[in-house]
Amino acid sequence: MRQNAVLETEGDPVLQPQFASVEDTATRLGAAGYLTDHAIATTVFLADRLGKPLLIEGPAGVGKTELAKSVALATNSELIRLQCYEGLDEARALYEWNYKKQLLRIQAASDDTAWDEIHDDVFAEEFLLSRPLLTAIRNPNPTVLLIDETDKADVEVEGLLLEVLSDFQVTIPELGTIEAARRPLVFLTSNATRELSEALKRRCLYLHLDYPAADREKAIVLSRVPEVAEQLADSLVRTVRALRALELKKSPSIAETIDWAKTLVALGLDTLDEQAVHETLGVVLKHASDHTRAIEQLKLN
């Protein structure tokens, strides 16, 4: 059985790397269903070995989230996900107090009970609602923390992340500072809709993912949809790449390429002719204007 190295530095939570080498990383990610390349495997290995968060940036649908999920699967780690959105605040990302339960505790106290006594009670552990960031920090087991679509959150949310990503600790004024017993492996994804702060980027390793080369995308399709014929997979990938070359509102993602392959198999089609493309285009294009442009540009009459 492979033994994990244990690294300790003063003031830092314990590091327990999960991957033995770059080759081990690539092999285990492949076994988890993620076909990687040397650059991706190297960056993931370094993030794991150095205990650094990994910022993955690139267009939507290139496998950023899937990479984090595959690492969790490959390392048998618990996946904790924080989905970012506009308006996300500390209460949803970090923690909040169970106000209803606190109110019931206050109401249950006798009239002559001193506030200091009640205060200590209502700000105890049992009234704390842990959200993804705090949950990941407190988890003693192997953990992958996925902070998904970080660029969709407000700039203020990045301030919440700095303490977590710098020292892997969370400060709760009423309870004190909670430090990680075991450092989680952190993945942040971004579609680059806005520039993230330099302070946040300094704390991370960086990986840019783009749409894969044709041969790699074909290999992904064949691995996920083994029923599809190789020639059909080749035609499918070439068509998807032609669609991505158009000025579309939303280019087809890798997941949609896989869905298209599953669709063709379900329909019993063994060739991707113009009629098949026209009838199943809704699997990969989700805007009416994109349909119109694709039909015009690819001459699907």
Residue where a domain stops, chosen among 190, 208, 226: 208
Residue where a domain stops, chosen among 151, 185, 208: 208
Residues 218 and 110 in one domain: no
Residues 183 and 34 in one domain: yes
- What's residue 143's pLDDT? 96
Residues 39 and 177 in one domain: yes
- What's residue 210's pLDDT? 93
- What's residue 278's pLDDT? 87
CA 276 to CA 289: how far, in whole Å? 19
User: In this structure, what are the phi and psi dihedrals at residue 230, rounded to the nearest 5 degrees?
Assistant: -60, -40
Residues 291 and 182 in one domain: no
Residue type, 98: N
Cβ pair 62, 211 in contact under 8 A: yes
With respect to residue 146, please indicate whether it lies within any of the assigned structural domains.
yes
With respect to residue 225, please indicate whether it lies within any of the assigned structural domains.
yes
- What's residue 248's pLDDT? 92
With respect to residue 126, please indicate whether it lies within any of the assigned structural domains.
yes
Residue type, 282: G
- What's residue 300's pLDDT? 61
Residues 120 and 218 in one domain: no
With respect to residue 4, please indicate whether it lies within any of the assigned structural domains.
no
- What's residue 5's pLDDT? 38
Closest CA to 28 of 73, 80, 77, 79: 73
- What's residue 10's pLDDT? 40
With respect to residue 47, please indicate whether it lies within any of the assigned structural domains.
yes
Residues 106 and 138 in one domain: no
Residues 249 and 148 in one domain: no
Residues 115 and 155 in one domain: no
- What's residue 162's pLDDT? 86
Residues 197 and 225 in one domain: no
Query: Averaged in consecutive runs of 10 residues, what is the pLDDT profile of the chain (301 residues)?
Result: 38 77 96 93 96 94 95 97 93 88 73 58 80 93 96 88 85 86 94 91 95 94 94 95 92 94 94 89 93 84 50
With respect to residue 264, please indicate whether it lies within any of the assigned structural domains.
yes
Residue 67: C-alpha distances to residues 50, 56, 217 (Å):
18, 9, 15
Exposure b/e, 43-61, CB count within 10 A at least 16 = b: bbbbbbbebbbbbbbbeeb
Residues 107 and 163 in one domain: no
With respect to residue 11, please indicate whether it lies within any of the assigned structural domains.
no
Residues 286 and 239 in one domain: yes
Residue where a domain stops, chosen among 130, 150, 185: 130
Residues 143 and 157 in one domain: yes
- Count the neighbouring beta carbons within 10 Å of the beta carbon of residue 133: 25
User: For residue 106, what are the domain limits?
Assistant: 95-130
In the chain, the number of structural domains is: 3
- What's residue 12's pLDDT? 55
With respect to residue 63, please indicate whether it lies within any of the assigned structural domains.
yes
- What's residue 11's pLDDT? 45
120 burial level (CB within 10 Å; 0-12, 13-18, 19+): exposed
What DSSP element (H or E) covers 172?
strand 169-172
- The structure's pTM equals 0.85
- What's residue 3's pLDDT? 38
